[in-house]
C-alpha cells in the first residue's frame, strides 16, 4: 500500500488535475444501466403524463452512482436533511457499492396516489463467464423525493420505520418492529450494561443511541435499504458513526451486549487504530457472540482447537476461518491482556495499531512475553475452557 500512496501523493503535488481526473474516470467506470421496463426516454417537456418523472429520477440516480456515491462527499443528489444528520449519508451504499455494475430494476411510486415519492431499486451484480451467469452482490432500495424543486435520494430507514413504536430507556431509543413485544426488562439491563462498560473503560456513557429491534435479519436489512445482500443473514450491526444498533434476533432482542460493547467503546476503537481481532475479541469477551455467552463461545473454541491441533495463533492471524470469525481467538487475547495489565493494558492494546506487525508488537508489550510464549499461553488459555468452563469469567 505504502509505495502506491507515495506515488499518488507525489502525483498530487506535481499535477493535481491528473490525479483528480483519474479518480473521476474510475468512478465513471461504474456501469449503470436501466433494467427491462424502466423507460428512460426523456422528452424534456416536463410533461409527466406518460412515464411520469421516471426518466428524470433515473438520470439523477445514475449520475449520483457515477459521482458522489463512492466518495460520500457533499452532493446535490441526496437529501439535505440526511446529509446534515450523517456524514456518510447513504446507508445501503456502504454495503452495496463495491464497483460492480448497477442495473436500475424499477422506479415506482412509493404509495399509490402520492406522486412526490418513488422507490428506486437497483441490483449490483456481475455477469461471469461465457454463459454470463449473474452473481448479485446487493439489491438496494432508496427513495426519490422532492427537495427544492429537484429529485434527490433518501434512505429507506426513516420511511420503513415510520410506524415502529419508540421506547426511550435511559439514553437508548428503542425502535421496535410492529408485532414484536418490547421487553422492558431486557432494555433496562442493556442500559445498565452499557453504563458499566463505559465506567469500566473510563469513556463517556452513551448519550444518544437508536436501537432498532426486529425479529429477523431480513427485516433489519430491509430497513437499511438492502432488499438482498450477500451475507444478509448477519443478525445484528453496530453502527457507531450513525449512533445506531440494529438487531434482528429475538434471543438477544433489546439486550445485545456484543453490539452495545462496540458502540460504547467506539471512542477507543474507532480511530481506526484497533486491530479487528482485538475489536471483535473485546466485544465477545464482554458480550458473547453469535447467540452464545462468552464462556460458551470459548468452550466451543477449545473443542475446535483440540480437534485441529495444527491451528496456531499465527494461522488464526492469517486464515479467517481459524478463528470461527475472528472472535474467540481475539477474546482470549483480550482476556489474557486484562488479567495481566488490567484496563490500562487493554487500552494500550486497542491503540496499538491495525496491522499484523503492530498487533504482535502491542501484544508482546501488553503481555510482557515473547511471541512464541504468547503463542503457547494463548493456546493453553483457550484449552482451559474445555476442562473447566466455570473457571474463568469475563468482566461481566
Q: By CB under 5 A, name the binding residues for Zn ion.
A: 280, 283
Q: Which three cell numbers stand for residue 134?
A: 449473474
Q: d(Cα 40, Cα 120) in Å, to the nearest integer?
A: 13
User: Cell triple for residue 173?
Assistant: 431509543
Residues 6 or more apart from 105 whose CB is under 8 A from it? 35, 38, 121, 122, 123, 139
Burial 298-317 (b: 16+ CB within 10 A, else e): bbbbbebbeeeeebbbeebb
CB of 280 to Zn ion, least distance (A): 5
Q: Smallest distance from the beta carbon of 76 to Zn ion, in angstroms? A: 36
SS3 16: helix
Cell triple for residue 310?
495444527
Query: In the complex, what is the shortest distance from the CB of residue 124 to Zn ion, in angstroms, rounded to a whole number?
Result: 24
Classify residue 382 as left (phi > 0), alpha (psi -120 to 50) or beta: alpha
Minimum CB separation from Zn ion for residue 143, in Å? 29
Residue 381 near residue 335, CB atoms below 8 Å: yes
Residue with smaller CB distance to Zn ion, 183 or 280: 280
How far is it, in rounded angstroms, from Cα 251 to Cα 257?
12
> C-alpha cell of 263?
458502540
Q: Minimal distance in Å, beta carbon 282 to Zn ion? A: 9
Number of H helices, E strands in the chain: 17, 11
Tell me the residue nearest to Zn ion as measured from the CB. Answer: 283
Smallest separation (angstroms) from Zn ion to the CB of 259: 7
Closer residue to Zn ion (CB): 239 or 280: 280
Shortest Cβ 62–Zn ion spacing (Å): 35
Closer residue to Zn ion, CB minimum distance, 152 or 329: 329
Say if residue 377 is exposed, middle or buried (CB neighbours under 10 Å; 0-12, 13-18, 19+).
Answer: middle
∠ CA 123-118-134, rounded to 5°: 10
Helix extents (H) in 211-370? 217-224, 257-264, 266-269, 276-287, 294-307, 313-318, 328-350, 356-367
Spatial distance between the Cα atoms of 387 and 241, rounded to a whole number of angstroms:
41
- The least distance separating Zn ion from the CB of residue 257, rounded to whole angstroms, comes to 11
CB of 370 to Zn ion, least distance (A): 29
Our CB check for Zn ion shows the closer of 120 and 349 to be: 349
Amino acid at each position: 500500500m505504502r509505495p502506491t500512496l507515495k506515488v499518488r501523493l507525489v502525483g498530487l503535488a506535481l499535477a493535481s488535475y491528473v490525479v483528480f481526473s483519474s479518480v473521476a474516470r474510475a468512478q465513471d467506470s461504474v456501469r449503470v444501466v436501466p433494467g427491462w421496463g424502466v423507460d428512460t426516454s426523456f422528452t424534456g417537456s416536463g410533461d409527466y403524463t406518460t412515464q411520469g418523472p421516471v426518466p428524470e429520477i433515473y438520470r439523477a440516480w445514475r449520475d449520483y452512482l457515477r459521482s458522489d456515491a463512492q466518495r460520500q462527499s457533499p452532493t446535490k443528489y441526496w437529501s439535505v436533511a440526511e446529509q446534515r444528520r450523517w456524514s456518510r449519508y447513504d446507508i445501503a451504499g456502504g454495503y452495496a457499492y463495491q464497483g460492480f455494475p448497477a442495473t436500475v430494476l424499477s422506479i415506482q411510486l412509493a404509495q399509490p396516489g402520492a406522486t412526490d415519492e418513488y422507490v428506486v431499486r437497483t441490483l449490483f451484480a456481475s455477469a461471469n463467464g461465457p454463459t454470463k451467469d449473474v452473481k448479485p452482490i446487493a439489491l438496494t432500495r432508496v427513495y426519490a423525493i422532492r427537495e427544492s424543486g429537484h429529485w434527490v435520494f433518501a434512505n429507506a430507514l426513516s420511511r420503513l420505520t415510520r410506524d415502529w413504536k419508540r421506547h426511550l430507556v435511559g439514553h437508548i431509543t428503542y425502535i421496535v418492529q410492529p408485532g414484536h413485544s418490547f421487553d422492558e426488562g431486557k432494555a433496562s439491563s442493556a442500559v445498565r450494561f452499557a453504563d458499566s462498560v463505559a465506567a469500566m473503560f473510563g469513556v463517556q456513557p452513551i448519550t444518544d443511541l437508536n436501537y432498532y429491534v426486529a425479529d429477523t435479519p431480513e427485516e433489519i436489512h430491509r430497513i437499511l435499504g438492502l432488499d438482498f445482500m450477500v451475507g444478509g443473514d448477519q443478525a445484528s450491526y453496530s453502527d457507531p458513526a450513525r449512533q445506531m444498533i440494529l438487531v434482528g434476533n429475538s434471543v438477544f432482542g433489546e439486550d445485545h451486549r456484543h453490539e452495545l460493547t462496540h458502540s460504547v467503546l467506539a471512542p477507543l476503537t474507532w480511530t481506526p487504530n484497533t486491530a479487528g481481532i482485538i475489536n471483535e475479541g473485546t466485544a465477545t469477551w464482554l458480550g458473547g457472540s453469535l447467540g452464545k455467552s462468552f464462556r460458551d463461545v470459548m468452550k466451543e473454541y477449545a473443542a475446535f482447537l483440540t480437534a485441529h491441533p495444527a491451528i496456531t495463533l499465527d494461522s488464526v492471524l492469517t486464515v479467517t476461518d481459524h478463528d470461527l470469525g475472528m472472535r474467540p481467538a481475539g477474546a482470549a487475547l483480550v482476556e489474557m491482556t486484562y488479567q495481566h495489565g488490567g484496563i490500562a493494558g487493554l487500552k494500550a492494546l486497542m491503540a496499538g495499531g491495525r496491522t499484523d506487525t503492530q498487533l504482535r508488537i502491542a501484544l508482546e508489550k501488553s503481555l510482557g512475553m515473547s511471541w512464541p510464549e504468547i503463542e503457547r499461553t494463548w493456546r493453553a488459555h483457550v484449552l482451559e475452557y474445555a476442562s473447566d468452563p466455570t473457571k474463568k469469567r469475563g468482566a461481566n
